[in-house]
Chain A
């Protein structure tokens, strides 16, 4: 495995990163006796969009879900190793999981708006996390979240319509808006565009670009071109191993590992 120390590569600005937003050290994930993630150590920084790529079943989603303890909901899943957010162990017993998932938001492959109004889809999180004290506050949050999600102009006149009445691409942006509304620090996206057409996909990619720097973003994608377009760091997983992690341009023009090369050039493994 190649665990690149991302502070030592030559990307300007990296040296200035005093602390990684998230770190994982020697993380293993088991489903019962089956090991799905093997000894993965990786750093995730605020300034970069990080892409996870790899063949189906290699453990991308599993690893992504360890970053906000989504695996807690899977009875057979067991996680070992250390994962920190701002230096704090997220698996520590003192960690409030609800709070953690607000700080580390998630967007799924299939858009999954609540069967509620567009407004309520966005307002739901801020309400339960007590981020708004008045209706006016909430209105501001809803508008700014929808704007940041690039959806405001398309829905501002129909905020009371059901979120499920939107197109797939709009629903996905609504879900991103919903994740943003609780002021997360990290946004995890698991194949957010796989159900979308190229134009809706381009809008999400543009959105990721616009959100970069404000949130640490991790995206799982099967679309290599998408990984190349949206990310600055790419991690290649294979059979639960982190095979290679590096600067996206390097991974796609000159990968170090044969397994990475075979995968991204579309060769038989």
Chain B
């Protein structure tokens, strides 16, 4: 397919849209990473940075919304263009939620830092790493309209879910054995839940990318298999 539109201003707008989505994605990836560091290293300064940075993510979402409305009104995009523009609009809504989860992790890290009684479970950072990579790859797939990469993201969600289940069991065991850790463990449980949700959201983004790239929904078969996994 010819890459460029006859009306080059349309290309400029689409490129700007892709740029904004990529910037938003980069920021929430970083936010998740820093929130996890704040938790592990007990650094409240990092947590502050994540919380403040979320404002910029919200602003980017608003900017994308405005641009999408403008593109639809002025350019009347069709076919793959239309799918991409709509996907961008939906994706930034999801990225914004991912940013909120990162912010929530940062807030919790602040609350439990200083009076920690248990080692932060080593599984949490590994889990966050996979979820972060899923977000990264889903947005990469969007930027390059790569349906194969999008499918690969979706397949990884099962890993995150498995992590969640084992962290859940570990934390419950802690709480039962030592009721003093309940408050701390509850926070960590929420952190795990947040990461698990981030994985789900990355999966949603990947599904949107798949549709935008191919015009097809992921085959039911795959979805069912994923749901079982």
Contacts and interface: CB of A to CB of B under 8 A. Distances in A.
Chains A and B form a bound pair: yes
Interface of A: 224-225, 228, 252-255, 258, 260-262, 264-269
Interface string B1-37: 1111111001000000000000000000000000000
B120 interface: no
B79 A255 contact: yes
Interface of B: 1-7, 10, 76-83, 215-216
Given A225-B76, A253-B215, A254-B215, A268 B81 contact: no
B83 A253 contact: yes
30 contacts: A224-B78, A225-B76, A252-B78, A252-B79, A252-B82, A253-B79, A253-B82, A253-B83, A253-B215, A254-B80, A254-B83, A254-B215, A255-B79, A260-B79, A261-B1, A261-B80, A262-B2, A264-B79, A265-B77, A265-B78, A265-B79, A265-B80, A266-B6, A266-B78, A267-B2, A267-B4, A267-B6, A268-B2, A268-B5, A269-B2
Nearest to A264: B78
Nearest to A259: B1
- Most B CB contacts (10 A, CB to CB) among A253, A255, A258 go to A253
Contacts of A262: 1-2
Contacts of A254: 79-80, 83, 215-216
A247 to B, nearest CB: 13
A267 B78 contact: no
**Closest 8 CB pairs between A and B?**
A254-B215, A267-B2, A268-B2, A264-B78, A265-B81, A266-B5, A265-B78, A266-B6
A117 to B, nearest CB: 40
Contacts of A253: 78-79, 82-83, 215
A265 B5 contact: yes
B82 to A, nearest CB: 6
* Chain B interface main SS type: loop
Contacts of B2: 262, 267-269
Given A252-B78, A254-B79, A261-B79, A266 B1 contact: no
A225 B83 CA distance: 16
B2 to A, nearest CB: 4
Given A252-B78, A262-B2, 5 more contacts: A254-B79, A255-B79, A264-B79, A267-B5, A268-B2
A235 to B, nearest CB: 16
A224, A262, A267, A268: most-surrounded residue (chain B CB, <10 A): A267
Contacts of A228: 78
A260 B76 CA distance: 16
A253 to B, nearest CB: 6
A267 B82 CA distance: 14
